[in-house]
């Protein structure tokens, strides 16, 4: 589960300087921050120092796939998040990433792409499940170096679903199985739950009335080994800053 640490290089953002003092423009930085929150649910956290060393990235609503969802849906667009994660990896200023997760799931391919991107960052990462982390949101929650979940949040593991036309042939079943193996394999590699146990949770018939799967709430997810600790934003940020300090010393 350890990550290969890479060299940091490049600047993610240029700070606007005022001519008479050489300090960053507070109003300009505030405007950029407000724009990031409004458009993408992203913001720099800087301990009031104006440094912006932690990047907060929210994964909310439904993870949008290769087709746009309707305008009334809250979505996380992977085409926005992927390049942002690349910028973070290349930045000399950003030293860590905090993922806030409240998602119902979404597109398997795009969700896994985001999870793999987070898992391959050399910067310290912490995830915090604050509402739900369902379906493909589970790989995202476990992709970080460390993970937290608030007591009332839930995680749902269920089989892969597909919309549209399907062909009633053995190959269809094997195709679904390969997709599920990709998901369960990733979760097993980035958590403390064996792959066969994840598959067992995925195919559980006793937990939900009209579906297969398992719903884990708060402490249940920690006991199962999916998430490391129960805690909120205070503990998640404290842990991330501790990881950043250790990386600086190294």
- Name the catalytic one among 91, 158, 190, 191: 158
Comparing 229 with 12, the larger pLDDT belongs to: 229
158 is catalytic: yes
pLDDT in tens, 114-171: 999 999 999 999 999 998 899 889 999 999 999 999 999 999 988 777 766 777 778 7
Q: What pLDDT score was predicted for residue 110?
A: 85
Q: What pLDDT score was predicted for residue 140?
A: 94
Phi, psi of 127, deg, nearest 5: -110, 150
Q: What pLDDT score was predicted for residue 12?
A: 42
Q: DSSP of 114-146, one letter per residue?
A: HHHHHHT-SS-EEEEEEEEEETTHHHHHHSSSE
The token duo for 3 is: 């990550």
71 is catalytic: no
Q: What pLDDT score was predicted for residue 60?
A: 82
The token duo for 187 is: 């979760």
The rounded percent of the chain whose pLDDT value lies above 90 is 43
Contact 23, 29 (CB under 8 A): no
- With vertex at residue 75, the alpha carbon angle to CA 72 and CA 77, rounded to the nearest 5 degrees, is 130
| 48-52, 84-88, 153-157, 169-173: range with lowest mean pLDDT | 48-52
Q: What pLDDT score was predicted for residue 69?
A: 59
Q: What pLDDT score was predicted for residue 120?
A: 95
**229: DSSP letter:** E
pLDDT in tens, 174-216: 877 888 899 999 999 999 999 999 999 988 888 877 778 899 9
**What's the whole-model pTM score?**
0.76
Average pLDDT value for the chain? 79
- Name the catalytic one among 135, 143, 147, 191: 135
Residue 230: CA count within 13 A, CB half-sphere: 14
């Amino acid at each position: 589960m350890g990550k290969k640490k890479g060299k940091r290089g490049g600047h993610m953002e240029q700070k606007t300087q005022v001519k008479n003092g050489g300090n960053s423009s507070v109003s300009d930085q505030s405007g950029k921050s407000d724009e990031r929150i409004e458009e993408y649910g992203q913001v720099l956290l800087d301990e009031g120092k104006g440094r912006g060393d932690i990047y907060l990235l929210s994964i909310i609503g439904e993870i949008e796939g290769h087709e746009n969802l309707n305008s009334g849906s809250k979505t996380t667009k992977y085409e926005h998040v992927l390049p942002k994660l690349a910028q973070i990896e290349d930045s000399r200023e950003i030293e860590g990433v905090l993922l806030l997760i409240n998602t119902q799931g979404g597109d398997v391919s795009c969700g896994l792409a985001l999870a793999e991107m987070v898992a391959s960052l050399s910067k310290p990462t912490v995830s915090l499940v604050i509402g739900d982390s369902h379906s493909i949101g589970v790989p995202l929650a476990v992709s970080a170096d460390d993970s937290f979940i608030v007591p009332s949040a839930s995680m749902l593991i269920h089989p892969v679903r597909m919309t549209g036309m399907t062909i009633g042939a053995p190959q269809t079943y094997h195709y679904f199985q390969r997709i599920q193996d990709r998901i369960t394999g990733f979760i097993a590699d980035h958590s403390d739950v064996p792959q066969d146990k994840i598959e067992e949770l995925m195919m559980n018939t006793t937990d939900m009335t009209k579906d297969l799967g398992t719903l884990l709430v708060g402490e249940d997810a920690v006991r199962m080994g999916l998430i490391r600790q129960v805690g909120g934003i205070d503990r998640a940020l404290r842990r991330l800053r501790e990881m950043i300090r250790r990386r600086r010393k190294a």
